């Protein structure tokens, strides 16, 4: 890969990613495993509040609902480029709803956004099941990464 950029930004919220180097390595590995002949990566993960994401959702997607993530994919061929907006408020609510920790849920959502950039969809029961299986695989991989770094 010629360019490896995964950037973290916060808009109207505090930055939720603590171990950025570890998370970058994990997300890059996800992309390398999912995209054959990956040339470059430029992904911006923007963490925001519900209101900010709601405004994007209504303006660009014409949806009038809250969501936890919106991915704007600008990729061409094997050059991955995207802006991934994540509502930390929705993630926090979903973590409670699904009996998960905030860290696990935000990791799942980050993986989910990048899987969209890799071409995965989640509009049908079948594609959603495939996406969830991939998310679980990469969450297990992140846990392995975390355990190795703590050893």
Mean pLDDT for the stretch of residues 23-52: 95
- Both structure tokens of 39: 């040339």
Q: Are 23 and 15 in contact (CB under 8 A)?
A: no
Q: Rounded to the nearest 10 degrees, how much is the dihedral formed by the CA atoms of 60, 132, 92, 80?
A: -50
Q: Are 39 and 77 in contact (CB under 8 A)?
A: yes
Q: What is the pLDDT of residues 43-52, one digit of tens each?
A: 999 999 999 9
Q: Are 52 and 9 in contact (CB under 8 A)?
A: no
Q: Where are the domains of the chain?
A: 3-150
Topology of 3-150 in CATH? Answer: Collagenase (Catalytic Domain) (3.40.390)
Q: What is the pLDDT of residues 77-118, one digit of tens each?
A: 889 999 999 999 999 999 999 999 999 999 999 999 999 999
pLDDT at 64: 94
Q: What's the predicted TM-score (pTM) here?
A: 0.95
């Amino acid at each position: 890969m010629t360019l490896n950029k995964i950037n973290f930004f916060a808009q109207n919220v505090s930055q939720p990613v603590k171990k950025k180097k570890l998370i970058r390595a994990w997300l890059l590995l996800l992309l390398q495993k999912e995209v054959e002949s990956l040339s470059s990566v430029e992904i911006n993960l923007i963490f925001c509040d519900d209101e900010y994401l709601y405004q994007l959702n209504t303006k660009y997607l014409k949806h009038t609902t809250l969501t936890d993530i919106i991915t704007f994919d600008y990729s061409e061929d094997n050059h991955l480029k995207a802006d991934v907006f994540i509502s930390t408020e929705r993630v926090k609510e979903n973590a409670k709803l699904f009996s998960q920790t905030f860290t696990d849920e935000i990791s799942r959502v980050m993986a989910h956004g990048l899987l969209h950039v890799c071409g995965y969809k989640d509009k049908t029961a079948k594609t959603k099941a495939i996406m969830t299986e991939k998310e679980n695989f990469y969450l297990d991989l992140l846990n392995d990464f975390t355990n190795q770094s703590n050893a």
